[in-house]
Amino acid sequence: MKKKKLITPELPAQYALALMLSKEIEQLEKSETILHHHQDDEALHNFRISIRRTRALIGQTKSILGEERVRPFMQGFKWIGSFTTPVRDLDVLSLKLQDYGRALPVDYRENLNIIKMFLDQQRELAYATLIKDIHSQRYRHLIDDWQRFLGHLLDKDHAATDKGSILEVANRKTWSAYKEVLKEGRAITDKSPPKTLHELRKTCKKLRYLIDFFSDLHPRKSVKQLIRILKKLQDYLGDFQDAEAHLQLFNQYRHHKALNPAQRIAFLLIVELLIGELHERENRLRGDFPAIFALFDQAETHQLIQSLYKT
């Protein structure tokens, strides 16, 4: 069965954006309902995606939505994203722990369960904080105000028609994000700090979200081809960011007092070995950047994006 398109090229930009943002808040509330009753990893993942997509779309189109009106919402959704991050970081670290552990001496690998138990305890604490924030008045007021704002934009009596069509906006914003990826990526050298790769990762996410959001406006086959090309760069940048974030976590855990004395010695030995492995992994990944970025920064990609989005 052919998927029904949410937006069409001729729709007024502000109205179409409100439609897309309404879809995101609908998904957010579905995930939120599940999180109230279960520690559901998939629901948390979907909840975070809705927040990230909402923030990305607001950030890229705030001049069309009304910058002064959406500024409080941008700050509010950033806050929601921040209180979900600790749980997400611990989930990813738990998933990657065995992979990291394979690089350790065999005699030490059996002690990884001490790290895993510790991570599970930290996740329970972080999840409790997350649920407390979701139950807060600040959260509820933000979501209610946002739904009222979107309802106002969807009211034809208030809809702005002077912002251009959604196709014009989509092409302009996506082309601009692509140029930003090229500018940031081409400026990175062997001497650039890790932060530059993190910033490039965020810009690639913006580009990916714009491609996804406006996929109804372009040929499906071409959009899928572009996503495959971009995904290779995103996967690499995600691995690098995970190594960086997990290094920070393990450095914090060096000073943690939650373990009993018998476990603490084994725990610290494993942590030090994992920190060493992550440093090596980060350095290996860092050396791969020129080749990975070159796979994206080539004539095929440029021609494809130009054919889809160049205005």
Domains of the chain: residue spans and CATH: 12-164 (1.40.20.10), 167-311 (1.40.20.10)
Predicted local confidence at residue 265, as pLDDT: 81
165 three-state secondary structure:
strand
Which of left, alpha, beta for 40 (phi over 0: left; psi -120 to 50: alpha)?
beta
Neighbour tally for 29: CB within 10 Å: 13
Give the span between the Cα atoms of 86 and 219, in whole angstroms. 38
pLDDT of the chain along its 311 residues, tens only? Answer: 456 778 899 999 999 999 999 999 999 999 998 887 777 788 999 999 999 999 999 999 999 999 999 999 999 999 999 999 999 989 999 989 988 888 888 877 778 888 888 899 899 999 999 999 999 999 999 999 999 999 999 986 555 666 789 999 999 999 999 999 999 999 999 999 999 999 999 999 999 999 999 999 999 999 999 999 999 999 999 999 999 999 988 888 887 766 677 778 888 888 889 999 999 999 999 999 999 999 999 999 999 999 999 76
Which one, of 203, 209, 202, 215, lies nearest residue 57 by Cα?
Answer: 209
Structure tokens at 191: 């001497």
Structure tokens at 269: 């030995």
Predicted local confidence at residue 192, as pLDDT: 94
Predicted local confidence at residue 2, as pLDDT: 56
Give the span between the Cα atoms of 180 and 14, in whole angstroms. 24
Q: Residue 246 to residues 64, 109, 203, 237, 269: CA-CA distances in angstroms?
A: 38, 18, 21, 14, 16
Predicted local confidence at residue 4, as pLDDT: 73
Give the span between the Cα atoms of 134 and 28, in whole angstroms. 12
Which one, of 201, 226, 215, lies nearest residue 303 by Cα?
Answer: 226
Structure tokens at 157: 């009596």
Give the span between the Cα atoms of 169 and 174, in whole angstroms. 8
Give the span between the Cα atoms of 160 and 141, in whole angstroms. 25
165: amino acid identity, one letter: S
